[in-house]
Copies of this chain bind each other. A is one copy, B any other.
Amino acid sequence: MKGGQSLSALRARRLGVVAPGAAFVFLRSDCGVCRSEGFDARAQVEIHHKGRSVTATLFHVISDILESDEAGLSEAAWQQLGLEQGDVVTVTHAPPLASFSIVRRRVFGGRIDDEGAREVIADVVAQQYSDIHLAAFLTDCSATPLDEPEMIALTRAMVETGDRLHWNQAPIVDKHCVGGLPGNRTTPIIVSIVAAFGLTMPKTSSRGITSPAGTADVMETLAPVNLSLTAMRRVVEREGGCIVWGGSVHLAPSDDILIRVSRALDFDAQGPMVASVLSKKIAAGSTHVVIDIPVGPSVKVRSEKAAASLATSLASVAQAFGVRTRIIKTDGRQPVGRGVGPALEARDVVAVLRGEPDAPQDLRDRAVTLAGAVLELAGAVEAGKGTKTAREVLDDGRAWKKFLRIAEAQGGLREPPVAPHTRAVTASTDGLVAAIDCRKLARVAKLAGAPGAPAAGAEIHKRIGDPVTMGEPLLTLHAETPGELDYAIAFLLGEPDIFMLTTP
C-alpha cells in the first residue's frame, strides 16, 4: 500500500475551474497513478493533503494543459484542501459510498431510519454524493413519499449536521411560506411588525430554489444578508429580528446542496422539503412557527387535499421536536403584489412598509394576517386580536422604523437595482383576466435572469378579474442583459398563455 501512495503523489495545479457544490480533478490519462490505480474517466476519487481530503470526480486529460506529474484541481477542491502553489497531493480510489445503499434499499421498497438518515445526510454534507446520487435520493423521495418517522429522522439528521442557535429568551417566533407563489414576499414585513411589537424573530431565509426569488434574494437588494452566526445574533439582540440568508449561517447545510439538484430537476420532494423547512427552524432555536401554504392550480401545492397532507406532515414533525405551529392556507391562484424577481419584489415590500397609497393591497393583507397569527400563536395578543394589532403596528409606521433599523444593523440599507433592459408584453385581444399561470410566470422571470440577476424578473400589470383591452400591457419583462431578455421573449412566443383572457 505504501508503494501505491508514493506513486499517487502529484504536484497540485490550480486550474481555476469553477463548479459550485462539487470538486473536480484533472489528470493526464498517461500519468503513473491513472495507470497503476486504473482510474477511469469520471471515476470518484479521493484527494489527500496533510490530513485533509476531498472526494472529486476525475477527468482524463490527453493534451498538454497538464504535465504528467500534475493534478489539476477545481476551485472547490483547491479550497477544501487549503492548498498553496507547489503543494503535493495524493489521489486514491474513493471509498465505496456505503450510505447510498440506504437510498438504494428505499428505492426498492425499504424505509430510512434515524441511523440511515444520519449516514445519508452526513455524506451529503461532506459532498460525497455525486449529482447522480443526489438526483436518485430526491426522485425517490418524490416517487415514494417519506412517511412521518422518515421525515422526523431526516429532520433530525439535517439539524445535527449544522450549527444550532440557542437563545436566552422565549418564545422565539418564525414564519415560513411553502413557496411557489410568485411575489409572495411577506417575510420582511412580518419580521418588522413582530419585532416592533417586541417579539424575537431571528429569520433565516433561503434563496430561490425553483422560483425566481427567495426572501434572501429579495432582502439582499435592500441590505446585506450573508451574515455570520455572530453577526446575526448581534442584529437579533439589538433589534429583536433579522432577515438573513440561512446558508451563510450554516444551519442545516445539506439543504443548499439538495437545492442545486432540485433546481435542475425543477421539482421539490415533499419529505425532504418538510425536513428542510423544519430543520432550519429547529436549528435556529424557534419555538413557535406560522406556516403559509398558498393553494392554487399552478403553484407548488395545487389542491386542498395536497395542502392538508403537507400541513399534517409539517405539524406532526414539528410537534415531535416540541415546536408549536399554526398552518394557514392562503389563496394561491395568482401572483402577489406587482413584482416577480428580487429587486421588483423588494419595491413592493418597501411600498407596503412605508404605507404608500399605491402599495399592493394583497401583499399588505397577507402580511398582516400572517403577522397576526404569529402574535397570537406566541401568546403576545389574545386570540382574534392578532390581525388588528399587526395592522396598527404597520399603519403607525413602527414596522417601517423597525425595518430600517434591522437593515442598518445588517450592514446598511441599499437601493434595489433597476434593470437596464425592459420589454412590455401586451394583450392580443380584449377580455377579462380569467387566470394567471404562476408556473409559467416564474419560468419567464427565471429565463429573464432572476434570481441570479437581481434586477431581472417580471412586473405584473393585471390581476384576475381585471378588464383588458387589446394592446394594453399585461406584464413587463426586466433583464440585466439583452441575451436574457431575448431568451425570455423567445419562451413567451412559444407559451403565450400566462394570462388567460375571456370575453367579458
- A contact residues vs B (CB 8 Å cutoff): 1, 3-4, 7-8, 14-21, 26, 29, 33, 35-38, 40-42, 59-65, 74-75, 93, 96, 100, 104, 107-108, 130-136, 138-140, 142-144, 261, 264-267, 443, 449, 452-453, 480-484, 486-487, 490-491
Contact = CB atoms under 8 A, between A and B. Distances in A.
8 contacts: A17-B63, A18-B29, A18-B60, A38-B452, A38-B453, A38-B483, A136-B138, A136-B139
Contacts of A38: 449, 452-453, 480-481, 483-484
Given A42-B20, A142-B107, A449-B38, A63 B15 contact: yes
A111 to B, nearest CB: 13
A61 B483 CA distance: 21
Copies of this chain in the oligomer: 2
A62 B491 contact: no
A201 to B, nearest CB: 32
A87 to B, nearest CB: 16
A434 B229 CA distance: 57
A110 to B, nearest CB: 11
Contacts of A4: 482-483, 486
Given A61-B17, A130-B264, A266-B104, A96 B491 contact: yes
A323 to B, nearest CB: 28
B93 A487 contact: yes
A37 B93 CA distance: 38
A134 B134 CA distance: 12
A480 B3 CA distance: 16
Of all A-B residue pairs in the complex, the 6 with the closest CB atoms, nearest first, are A16-B63, A143-B143, A135-B135, A37-B483, A18-B60, A139-B139
A391 to B, nearest CB: 39
Contact of A62 (B18, B63, B130): B18
Contacts of A266: 100, 104
A8 B264 CA distance: 24
B142 A108 contact: yes
A296 to B, nearest CB: 16
Contacts of A453: 38
Given A107-B267, A143-B144, A144-B144, 17 more contacts: A8-B483, A16-B61, A18-B61, A18-B62, A33-B483, A36-B483, A38-B452, A38-B453, A38-B480, A62-B75, A65-B65, A104-B267, A107-B143, A130-B131, A132-B132, A133-B265, A136-B139
